[in-house]
Amino acid sequence: MWFMRQAGRYQPTYRALRQQYNFMDLATDPSLCVDVTCRPVEDLGVDAAILFSDIMVPLAPMGVNFTIQESIGPVIANPIRSMRDVLALGSVTPERDLPYVLDAVHGIVERLGPIPLIGFAGGPFTLASYMIEGGPSKNYLYTKRMMWTAPDVWAALMTALVDVVSTHLTAQVKAGAGAVQIFDSWIGSLAPEDYEQWVLPYMAEIFRRLAPLAVPRIYFGVGTGSLLELMVSAGPDVLGIDWRVPLIDARRRIGPHIALQGNLDPARVTAGYDAVVGPTQALLGSMRGDPSYIFNLGHGVLPMTDALVLKQLVDLVHREGKRGDAL
C-alpha cells in the first residue's frame, strides 16, 4: 500500500517547509526532495515511496514556462496552440536537463533501503491539456479542439511527449526507482472513441518503450469507468482507478492478468477514522484472494486530511492484510 500525494499539504512538516521554499525549490533541490519524499514513508509506514516532484517538471527543459501556483496548480505563460509552438519545444535528456531529479532518486533509494521508490510522469494527454489550456481546466476545450481540428499539431505534440515521458521514466528507473506510475489524471474527460483514437496509440508506445526495464508499470486516471478496457489494452502491469468503480467490478471487466490499485475515496479520510474503517474493511474484503492488488486511495491525499487518521488507515490495512494473508 501507498498513497498518491503522500507528501503534501496535509503534513505540518510540509506546510512548514513551504513557508521557506516554493514548490519548485523543493522539487529541484535533491536534499530537500529526498527529505520530503522519505518523510511520509517514515511517519506513516507505507510500503513504498513516490518521488516528490510534479508532472510538469520534465517540461521545463522543453521550454515550457510554468509556475506552480498556490491552490491552483501549474500555470503556463506560453500555452501551445499551433504547429509553430510545438516545433519550438526542445527535447529533453534527463541526465543533462534534470540531474536534480536523478540525484534525488539516488538519495531516496539509499535512505530507504529495501522500501521501493515509485518514479512517475504525467500521461501525454494530461500533460498536453496543461500545455494547451495554460493551466487546470474544466472542459478541455482548446485541447479537444486541437485534437479534432488540427490532428497534425496534436500528433506532433503527443509524439514529443511520448519521448519526454519515456526517457524521463527510463532515467528514473536506471537511477534506482523500482516501479513507475503514469498519472493520466484527466483522460476521464474523453469519450472512449476519442481516447482510443487520440491517446491510446501514444500510451501503448510508452508502455512498449518501458517494457525492457522490467519494473511494474502502473497506469492511473480519474473518472475512467468507461475506459478501463482501453487503458488495459495500452499495456500496463497495474491499473489504478478512482472510487467511482468498485474494484471487484473492475476485476471482472479486465480479467486476472493485471494488478489493480485503489480506491478508497480520499474524502473519506477527511471525515475521521470512524468513516474510514467500514469502507476499508469492505474494500479489502472484496479483494481478498485477488491475484494482485495494491491498496491506495482513489486519488491523492487531500490537504485537509488529518495525518493521524491516515496513519491509522495504514495500520488498519496492514492488520487486515495480515489477517487475510492472501491479500
The set of catalytic residues is 5, 9, 18, 54, 130
Residue 192: HSE in the Cβ half-sphere, 13 Å Cα cutoff = 10
Residue 18 as a binder of ligand 1CP (CB under 6 A): the answer is yes
Q: Are strands 117-122 and 49-50 parallel, antiparallel or unpaired?
A: parallel
Residue 6 as a binder of ligand 1CP (CB under 6 A): the answer is yes
Q: Which of 1, 8, 41, 240 binds ligand 1CP (CB under 6 A)?
A: 8
Contact region for ligand 1CP (CB under 6 A) — 67-75, 79-87, 162-170, 268-276? 67-75
Residue 108 as a binder of ligand 1CP (CB under 6 A): the answer is no
Classified as helix, coil or strand, 73 is strand
CB closer to ligand 1CP, 310 vs 320: 310
Closest by CA position to 238, among listed 207, 197, 194, 282: 207
> Is residue 280 within 8 Å of residue 320, measured between CB atoms?
yes
Task: Give me the residues paired with residue 68 across strands.
Answer: 74
C-alpha span between 307 and 226 (Å, rounded): 33
Total residues at interface with ligand 1CP (CB under 6 A):
21
Residue 74 as a binder of ligand 1CP (CB under 6 A): the answer is yes
DSSP assignment of 216-258: -EEEE-SS-TTTHHHHHHT--SEEE--TTS-HHHHHHHH-SSS
Least Cβ distance, residue 72 to ligand 1CP (angstroms): 7
Grid cell 487518521 — which residue?
A: 309
Q: Which of 94, 178, 300, 321 binds ligand 1CP (CB under 6 A)?
A: 300
The type of residue at 15 is: R
Residue 219 as a binder of ligand 1CP (CB under 6 A): the answer is no
Classified as helix, coil or strand, 126 is helix
Residue 70 as a binder of ligand 1CP (CB under 6 A): the answer is yes
Residue 2 as a binder of ligand 1CP (CB under 6 A): the answer is no
Residue 136 as a binder of ligand 1CP (CB under 6 A): the answer is yes
Give the list of residues 6+ apart from residue 87 with CB closer than 8 angstroms, or none: 156
Contact region for ligand 1CP (CB under 6 A) — 7-15, 194-202, 227-235, 268-276? 7-15
Residue 185 as a binder of ligand 1CP (CB under 6 A): the answer is yes
Q: Which of 10, 66, 120, 295 binds ligand 1CP (CB under 6 A)?
A: 120
Positions 36 through 55 that interact with ligand 1CP (CB under 6 A): 50, 52, 54-55
Cite the DSSP H helix spans in the chain.
Answer: 12-20, 23-28, 30-44, 83-87, 94-97, 99-112, 124-133, 141-149, 151-175, 192-198, 200-210, 228-233, 247-254, 266-270, 274-287, 307-323
Least Cβ distance, residue 194 to ligand 1CP (angstroms): 19
Residue 68 as a binder of ligand 1CP (CB under 6 A): the answer is yes
Residue 4 as a binder of ligand 1CP (CB under 6 A): the answer is yes
Contact footprint for ligand 1CP (CB under 6 A): 4-9, 18, 23, 50, 52, 54-55, 68, 70, 73-74, 120, 136, 183, 185, 300
